[in-house]
Every structure is written in C-alpha cells, then in structure tokens.
Chains A and B, each alone.
Chain A
C-alpha cells in the first residue's frame, strides 16, 4: 500500500475574491511505504501548502488526497501521521515528558503506558535526562528534538515535517538529520519532508521532489542513491552530483 497519494490537486486561496492566490496547480505525488520524500522549491512554490493538504489542515480546491488508503480527513482523525513544524510549538506549561505524552493523552492511552512510551521516545532522540524539564529551559535544537519525539510518540506510519531544522545552526542540523534517518530506518516510517536546503534534501531523501512557483507545481522528481547516509556519504561524489542535479532542476 502507498503511504500518500495526491491526485490532481489544485489549491486556490481566497477563491472568488480580489486577492485570489493560486497556490498549487495540478499536483500529483505518490509516496510509497517507508519512502523518504523531500519537497524543495523557492518560497511561494506551495511546498508547505502541499504538506498541509496531506495533513488535512487545509482542504484542496479540487482533486483528492489519500493517506494510508483513506481520505486525508479520515486519516487525520485516526491519527495516521505525526507532524513537526519549523517552530517546535511545545507547550511551555508542560514538562518535556508531558509534551511528548500529549498526543497519547488525547487518544486516551493509560497513564502508565503513556509515560513508558514518552520515555522511550525521549530515549530515541537522546533527551531521556531532560524529561522533567520545561521547554523554556532547553536550547532550540533540544526543543526541536522534543517536537520530533512528540510526532513519533503515536508511532505513526507517516511522518510529516515542515522545515523542522530550518531555525537551527548547521552543526545541530546535521546531527539531527542523522538522528532522524536512524529513527526512520528503525521504525520503518514513511516521511514527507519540506525544506529549502538542497544539501539537506539530498542527504535525507530517497527522492527529491522539485517545485516551482507561480503557479505552484512539481517540475522534477529526482531519485537519490547514496553509498551511505553518514559522514562518508556527505563526501561521496554521488552526493555532490545529486546536489548539482537538484540545483539545476531548481534553476530551470
């Protein structure tokens, strides 16, 4: 089964008003099970809009979005995906552990189970020692890791990420990229990842989807095959070749 099918989707904001904005035009995208797909493009190309359509945070003007074989709205209600944004969006009044527990809490998971799960996830992102801290006491990178742990807590088959590392410094960013790949490999999660960094897209993804603006549409889809996804991978000739290929696709 495929994780995501976006079929002929068009999205127009403020339809029928004077400030009408066509955000996406005739977009088709398929994400297979366990696949890691990055969406890349200039600002205004609609990559975040596409992600929000998959998450059913907004509805398409025309076309259909299917997640795990169900309509997107049903998939959202059944919590078929976890999501992380550029801002960590943690709740400052909850401790780190209780932030991770929140989606489980809303699903009615028992207290003991919730706690065990949250601790497991914090272990996964390397923050087990900070479970009792409040978000305000953590650095930006740590907050983002908590947000990822929260997205993973319900063990969703699909992970949606909207520039989750966008606000971090380069060193933290590379470390979190490696961690994310490890987690995805371990859990077998399918991922849709929005970014505007070419290097990040190439390093993380099995496929980089290139978009262009006005109107927002998909212009290229580039398969990425790297010898390894680690420090050595970042220096491999194949890595640089793919970066060049994506850059050219973005320019054309």
Chain B
C-alpha cells in the first residue's frame, strides 16, 4: 500500500488540477482539452481505438520480435568473433544516436506505401540497437572467478558459453529488451507520421488533430499509452519468468 498510494494520490490530484485548470481557466481545447472531455471520447471511440491499437500493436510486436532475433544473432556472432565486436560496438553506438525513425519515408519508397512492411522494418531497426548493445555487453562481461572456475573444470568453449556466458548475459538482454519494447511501440506509432499505410494509432492522432477534434486525438494518445504500457508489462512478466532467481531475491 505504501508503495502504491503516493503515485495514485498524485495521479488523481493531477487529473483534478488539470480539469479545474482547463474549465476554470477557459483553456481552449486546442491548447489542452479537459480530462473529462478526453474520457468521454475514449468511451465513445473505444472500438476505433481498439482497432487502431491492434494494428499498431501488431506492427510493434512483429518489429520487436524480428529486430530482437536479428540482434541476438548479431550479438552472438560479435561475441564469438572478437574483431567483429570491436568494429561493431562503436558503429552501433553511433547509429543509435541517429534519428532512425526518419528512415520511414525511404522505406516507404523502397517497398510500396500500402504495405505494413516499412513500419515493421523501422520498428525492427529501432529495436535492434538496444538489444544488440546490451546483450553484447553482457556476453563479453564474464565474472573472472567464473572464468577461472570453469578452467579448473577443464570445460570446453561450448560448455562455457552454454553454462556461463548465456545465462550470465540474460539480465543485460532483458535490460535491452525493456528499452526495446517501449521503443517498438513508439516507432510503430510515430512511423505513421511519415506517411505510408494509415491504419494505426499514429494516423488516427494526426487525422483527429487535422480535424481539430483535439479531445479525440488525446483519446487516441491515451490508447497509445495503454499499448506501450501493455508491451512494457509483458516484457517485465517475461523477464520474471525467464529469471526466477531475480524474483526470489526481491521477495
């Protein structure tokens, strides 16, 4: 209770203040609509929000899974062949600082703009970097005591990788995946701002804003937030299942 109560109180207070600020201050809806107006729109548009969230969610999920798979394979290769790792880490770190999302219009040209592939591809590329960088760091970091111990057991390279390197890198992998899962949703939603097929949350937000239906646009933003939250919580759950030893620690 002590952990849950303060954020809940803050949340309710913020909503009340927001409502009062908008209604008493007569703030125009294009500046900031009232939470009650947004709530009403959420209720009214729940079917549309659900459909758009499903489309964006599918894009995010496919991009997340694809990007993660490629990143895992790349990280395994880069940890196996040291030269590859030395070259790829600074390269990936630099690429990660670039606005990758801006690739969307190019991908729309390379594929047809009526397909879902460009959005999923952008999502996959965005997802790749945090997973690759974190997992590779985990794979390269081995406790020196474990290293010596496995040598005293005369363990082969493959046994060492399976029993020490891979499980040891799991926490790093999930750090990357947590970041990636939020980025996936963001990328899948925002990629629609750059054109291409318009059936997800991003397109709904822009079209509602274009029709100056601001409460409706905010309602779709709320849908996007819920989608992001769902992805994040799913990743947390997966992490708990994959690493029972961490969970028992905190309990």
Is A in direct contact with B (CB under 8 Å) within the complex? yes
Q: A residues bordering B, Cβ < 8 Å?
A: 52, 55-57, 76-77, 79, 81, 83, 85, 87, 89, 91-94, 102-103, 105-106, 133-137
Closest-by-CB residue of B relative to A73 is: B154
Set of chain A residues within 8 Å of B148, measured between Cβ atoms: 52, 55, 57, 83, 85, 89
Report the minimal beta-carbon distance from B142 to chain A, rounded to whole angstroms. 11
Closest-by-CB residue of A relative to B160 is: A106
B72 in the interface (beta carbon within 8 A): no
Set of chain A residues within 8 Å of B167, measured between Cβ atoms: 91, 93
Verify A134–B164 contact, CB threshold 8 A.
no
| Assembled-state Cα–Cα distance A56/B148 (Å) | 10
Verify A79–B143 contact, CB threshold 8 A.
no
Closest-by-CB residue of B relative to A88 is: B145
- A93-B245, A134-B249, A137-B249 known; A87-B145 Cβ under 8 A: yes
Which among A83, A91, A94 has the greatest number of chain B C-beta atoms within 10 A? A91
Set of chain A residues within 8 Å of B249, measured between Cβ atoms: 134, 136-137
B153 in the interface (beta carbon within 8 A): yes
| Assembled-state Cα–Cα distance A89/B152 (Å) | 13
Verify A134–B151 contact, CB threshold 8 A.
no
Set of chain A residues within 8 Å of B245, measured between Cβ atoms: 92-94, 134-136
- A106-B159, A136-B249, A137-B248 known; A91-B146 Cβ under 8 A: yes
Secondary structure class of chain B's binding surface, majority of residues: helix
- A89-B143, A134-B248, A134-B249 known; A106-B149 Cβ under 8 A: no
- A57-B151, A134-B248, A134-B249 known; A89-B170 Cβ under 8 A: no
19 A-B contact pairs sorted by A residue (CB < 8 Å):
A55-B148, A81-B152, A83-B148, A87-B145, A89-B143, A89-B145, A89-B146, A89-B148, A91-B163, A92-B245, A93-B168, A93-B170, A93-B245, A102-B163, A103-B153, A133-B248, A134-B245, A137-B248, A137-B249
Verify B154–A136 contact, CB threshold 8 A.
no
B73 in the interface (beta carbon within 8 A): no
| Assembled-state Cα–Cα distance A134/B148 (Å) | 21
| Assembled-state Cα–Cα distance A56/B152 (Å) | 8
Q: B residues bordering A, Cβ < 8 Å?
A: 143, 145-146, 148-149, 151-155, 159, 163-164, 167-168, 170, 243-246, 248-249
Set of chain A residues within 8 Å of B159, measured between Cβ atoms: 106
Report the minimal beta-carbon distance from B164 to chain A, rounded to whole angstroms. 7
Given contacts A52-B148, A76-B151, A134-B248, could you give 12 more A-B pairs where the C-beta distance is less than 8 Å?
A56-B152, A57-B152, A79-B154, A83-B148, A83-B149, A89-B149, A91-B167, A93-B167, A106-B154, A134-B244, A134-B249, A136-B245
| Assembled-state Cα–Cα distance A4/B224 (Å) | 68
Cβ-defined partner of A85 (8 Å) among B145, B163, B164, B243: B145
Report the minimal beta-carbon distance from B250 to chain A, rounded to whole angstroms. 9
| Assembled-state Cα–Cα distance A76/B148 (Å) | 12
Cβ-defined partner of A83 (8 Å) among B143, B152, B168, B243: B152
Closest-by-CB residue of A relative to B245 is: A134
Set of chain B residues within 8 Å of A106, measured between Cβ atoms: 153-155, 159, 163
Which among A89, A105, A136 has the greatest number of chain B C-beta atoms within 10 A? A89
Set of chain A residues within 8 Å of B248, measured between Cβ atoms: 133-134, 136-137
Verify B154–A77 contact, CB threshold 8 A.
yes
| Assembled-state Cα–Cα distance A236/B154 (Å) | 43
Report the minimal beta-carbon distance from A68 to chain B, rounded to whole angstroms. 14
Report the minimal beta-carbon distance from B173 to chain A, rounded to whole angstroms. 12
| Assembled-state Cα–Cα distance A106/B162 (Å) | 12
Report the minimal beta-carbon distance from B124 to chain A, rounded to whole angstroms. 29
| Assembled-state Cα–Cα distance A137/B246 (Å) | 10
Report the minimal beta-carbon distance from B213 to chain A, rounded to whole angstroms. 51
Set of chain A residues within 8 Å of B152, measured between Cβ atoms: 55-57, 76, 79, 81, 83
| Assembled-state Cα–Cα distance A79/B155 (Å) | 11
Set of chain B residues within 8 Å of A52, measured between Cβ atoms: 148
Closest-by-CB residue of A relative to B155 is: A106
Set of chain B residues within 8 Å of A102, measured between Cβ atoms: 153, 163
